[in-house]
């Protein structure tokens, strides 16, 4: 069953995000009528930052990783290939390289039609993205330490 699209449109975006976060016991770091920022303490002890951005009838969920590169030439092809392969296994989320503050950054994202989002779906998407980003950072950290 589709959810009422008006839950996330215009100024309702802020109220719905706040309501869902309150229901889940999550704090909001920053919010306006188009964008919300949430921070999570991940299992590793690191803090993961999640962005929710409203685009017409779609919400974009994004968790940028700590893996950032100065130029596209510096982005490791082997890691991109690995993450593209992982994308085929996911039902929620996909890895991409996006430009953030002038740097190429691995991020895990999910785009969802507003009409499909309820508090359970919201929870599942965010929990999955935060966990996947944290897992990637831990794998890369262990590899760099030689474990």
- The per-residue pLDDT for range 47-81, each reduced to its tens digit, is 999 999 999 889 999 999 999 999 999 998 988 99
First to last CA, the chain: 47
- pTM of the predicted structure, to 2 decimals: 0.90
Grade residue 10 by pLDDT with cuts at 50, 70 and 90.
Answer: low
Average pLDDT over residues 100-117: 94
In this predicted structure, the answer to whether residue 1 has a pLDDT above a threshold of 50 is: no
In this predicted structure, the answer to whether residue 144 has a pLDDT above a threshold of 80 is: no
Q: What pLDDT score was predicted for residue 141?
A: 82
Backbone angles phi, psi at 81, to 5 degrees: -65, -45
**CA–CA gap between residue 101 and residue 70 (Å, rounded):** 10
Q: Where are the domains of the chain?
A: 5-145
Query: Which residues of the chain form beta strands (DSSP E)?
Result: 30-31, 35-41, 47-55, 58-69, 94-100, 103-113
What is the topology classification, in CATH, of domain 5-145? Yope Regulator; Chain: A, (3.30.1460)
């Amino acid at each position: 069953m589709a959810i009422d699209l008006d839950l996330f449109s215009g100024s309702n975006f802020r109220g719905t995000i706040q309501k869902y976060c309150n229901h889940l016991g999550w704090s909001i770091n920053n919010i306006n009528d188009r964008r919300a920022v949430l921070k999570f303490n991940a299992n590793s002890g690191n803090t993961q930052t999640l962005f929710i951005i409203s685009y017409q009838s779609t919400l974009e969920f994004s968790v940028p990783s700590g893996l950032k590169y100065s130029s596209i030439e510096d982005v490791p092809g082997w890691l991109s290939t690995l993450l593209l392969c992982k994308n085929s296994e996911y039902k929620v989320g996909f890895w991409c390289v996006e430009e953030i503050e002038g740097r190429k950054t691995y991020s895990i994202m999910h785009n969802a039609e507003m009409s499909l989002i309820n508090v359970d779906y919201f929870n599942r998407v965010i929990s999955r993205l935060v966990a996947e980003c944290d897992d990637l950072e831990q794998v890369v950290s262990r590899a760099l330490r030689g474990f």
